[in-house]
Amino acid sequence: MKEYVLVALTHCNPRWVRIYSEIIADYQSRGASLCLLDFSDSIFPVRRTRFFSKWLRQYATSQNVTVWSPGELLQRIEFLEADLPGYSKSEFFSYFRDDNPTGLLAKRFLKAQMKTAQRVRQEFPNLLRQLNCRELYIPNGRGFIHNLISEIADSSDSNVEILYLETAAPHNPLGDRYFSAPYPIHNRVARQAQIGLKVLDENLIRKLSDLWLEPRMQPKSRLNAFSAHWSSQTFEMNYQNVFFTSSTDEYWSLGDEWHIDEWEDQYEAFDYVLHKLEQMGESSFALRIHPNLLNKSFRFAKREFSRIEWITKRHKDLFVILPHEPINSYALMEKASRVFVSMSTIGLEASAAGKSVWCTSATSYDRTADIRQLLGREQVNDADLNPWSVNMTMARKWVAYFLLEGRLHEHFISRIYPSKLSTFPLRSLGFRTLSVVRSRLDRRRNFRLSKVYGRKNRFD
């Protein structure tokens, strides 16, 4: 009986078209039979996804790849919002950049997810029974549809192996790669376990980590999206204890392994740590607000600024650097003797630079880098907050693995969809325009809010 490799088509934009075409070409070169699972019309919003998926389906059909999509509902099933699994609600929060979205668009989002769950649960198990499935590729793995497909495949009688796809390190100096593994790229435990098993030469580790880290720390670097707004001017800021907030809403949909701390939020954690440092006689404090706060919903940003104001009133010696200010975060880190983060990647970079780093939440490097965790009040009370001699190689190995991870693109078909804007469907263009306008409006309002807050508190 013929064995099939299933490839789930969910995300569909230029970078994912590249990965899908790579998988198709790779398996065809080995004579395998493929089936493209087209869930593109099950994604919300669907129009832009449909535009790219249309061309990918045409390419797949021209390569004799079977294309399958779930049919219409045969029977309406009673399915309430409360029945949606946790990962669905988390994706809902992440999409709207808010933890309590309201309005017509939010209702449409939930309704689309409930309908999708019904359609996929009705049709996908039948496909798994009909085909002799060897492998199932799922892109990304963090969205509602990805978790739903994986859940159904795991509970089926088929012995299908589930693999996950994702783009690997962006702007990789070693060449563009894509991630393929039996676990999602955001699975912090499994991924760090693989790093621990990897044997790398110390000279290679140092060379690769420098290749990645040094350019990221420069203002205007293309390797760091936020440094484009940093000034090359030198700021005289010699704070010994620097706290970096994180863009935590991006982790709402990543599961329980990312929610291991006992804090209400990162500000409560930083407040408790600041009290202990003050008891130790420390008074040199700086709080760097993550620049990505400007890109959140206005309501979310307002709530964040209220928490920032709360912590600054409790600690008069705390100097706050706001998200709109063009101060190089790495320059702050270099002068510090202690670095505290929630889950920010700058904690990894600080550890690689020899700084003592404490994390108040789960991170992607907490099992591999030489850092210490402060996940609750008891840990802070018992912690020795004195700097130590850091093993920089541990963090640098994480960076080296990050660059070597994945597979190089070898079979990419360069032109399988039109690149001219004139071919973009008007409805898709309209929806995309509305999304861009909404996000830019929020960014402008957040920028203004940040400046007003700065003037009010004499930080500008």
What mean pLDDT do residues 407-421 have?
Answer: 56
Answer with the one of 167, 201, 228 that is the final residue of a domain: 167
CB atoms within 10 A of CB 291: 25
At a CB cut-off of 8 Å and minimum separation 6, what does 431 contact?
45, 47, 48
Q: Establish whether the linkage from the previous residue to 45 is cis, with ω within 30° of 0.
A: yes
Q: Which residues, in sequence order, are bridge partners of residue 341?
A: 244, 359
Retrieve residue 87's tokens: 């990962």
Checking if the pLDDT of 108 tops 50, the result is yes
Question: Which amino acid does the sequence have at 18?
Answer: R
Q: Are residues 237 and 116 in the same domain?
A: no
Lowest average pLDDT, out of 50-54, 295-299, 386-390, goes to: 50-54
Range name among 122-126, 164-168, 221-225 with the lowest pLDDT average:
221-225
Position 184 in a domain: no
DSSP string, 67-100: EE-----SS-----GGGS-HHHHHHHHHHHTSSS
- Per the model's pLDDT, the better-predicted residue between 8 and 235 turns out to be 8
- Tell me if 160 is assigned to some domain: yes
**What pLDDT was estimated at residue 413?**
54
In eight-state DSSP terms, residue 169 is S
Whether the CA torsion 84, 86, 88, 92 is positive or negative: it is positive
For 302-327, what is each residue's pLDDT tens digit? 999 999 999 999 999 999 999 988 88
The answer as to whether 22 is a domain residue is yes
> Is 361 within a domain?
yes
| Residue 198 CA: distances (Å) to CA of 82, 272, 311, 370, 402 | 43, 37, 42, 17, 11
Domains of the chain: total = 2
Full DSSP string of 213-268: HHHHTSTT-TT-TTGGG--SS------SEEEE---GGGGTTS-GGG-----SSHHH
| Cβ atoms 315, 218 nearer than 8 A | no
pLDDT at 169 over 80: no
Give the CATH number for residue 392. Answer: 3.40.50
* Residue where the block lists tokens 């012995």: 159
Q: Which residue has the higher pLDDT, 357 or 196?
A: 357
pLDDT of residue 89: 65
- Determine whether 134 is exposed, middle or buried from the number of CB atoms within 10 Å of its CB (0-12, 13-18, 19+): middle
pLDDT(418) > 70 = no
pLDDT-derived band at 453, boundaries 50, 70, 90: confident
Domain extent at residue 394: 216-399+445-456
pLDDT band at 255 (very low <50, low <70, confident <90, very high): confident
Q: For residue 62, give the nearest of 37, 27, 26, 25 by alpha carbon.
A: 25
